[in-house]
Amino acid sequence: MTRKGKLVAGSGTPFMLAGLGLGVKAGAPRPDVSTVESFKAAMLAAKSIGYSRGCSGTHAADIMAKIGITEQLKSKTVLTGGGPVAEYVAKGDFEIGIQQTNVMLGVPGFDYVGHIPASIDKPCPFSVGLMSVSKQQDLARQLIGYMTSPAAVPFLAQTRIDPAKL
């Protein structure tokens, strides 16, 4: 965006990391995903698994390859066409959904099960930057400073995300 003139040069700042989690339709059995072994078993036992085509979907595919189950899951993996994966799970389009944990909040008909084990998780990074068209650049810089400060960490945690750096 900086090369296109949309962001002020040098203002791009790492903001957050959204780890991957999974969930099921509300009321459905909740698989154990607390260890790599139990996560792998849950994926193999699932009737269908869905994830997006964005960062979380790419990372989910990488995780499945890392634990050696891509081929076994091929026939039961569904890629969404857009929108939060949790909404597809809530409608019953597939049994288990994988996406960034922060996108799984507050979706009616969806139960969040938990994070993918940290040793295999591949969080999605997000950055913030100052838009070139901003009419209040000083205020925007203050906001970016706050968003990336230790004071913002408790607010990030409420949405299941981690700061990109401290």
Residue ranges per structural domain of the chain: 1-16+126-166, 20-122
What CATH class has 20-122? alpha beta
Taking 70 as the threshold, does the pLDDT of residue 166 lie above it? no
State pLDDT tens for residues 81-131.
Answer: 888 999 999 999 999 999 999 989 889 999 999 999 999 999 999 999 999
160 has a pLDDT exceeding 90: no
DSSP string spanning the chain? -TTTTSB-TT--EEEEEE-EEEEEETTS-----SSHHHHHHHHHH-S-EEE-SSHHHHHHHHHHHHTT-HHHHGGGEEE-SSS-HHHHHHHTS-SEEEEEGGGGTT-TTEEEEEEPPTTT--PEEEEE--BTT-S-HHHHHHHHHHHTSGGGHHHHHHTT-EES--
What would the pLDDT profile of 42-79 be if each residue is shown by its tens digit?
999 999 999 998 899 999 999 999 999 999 999 999 99
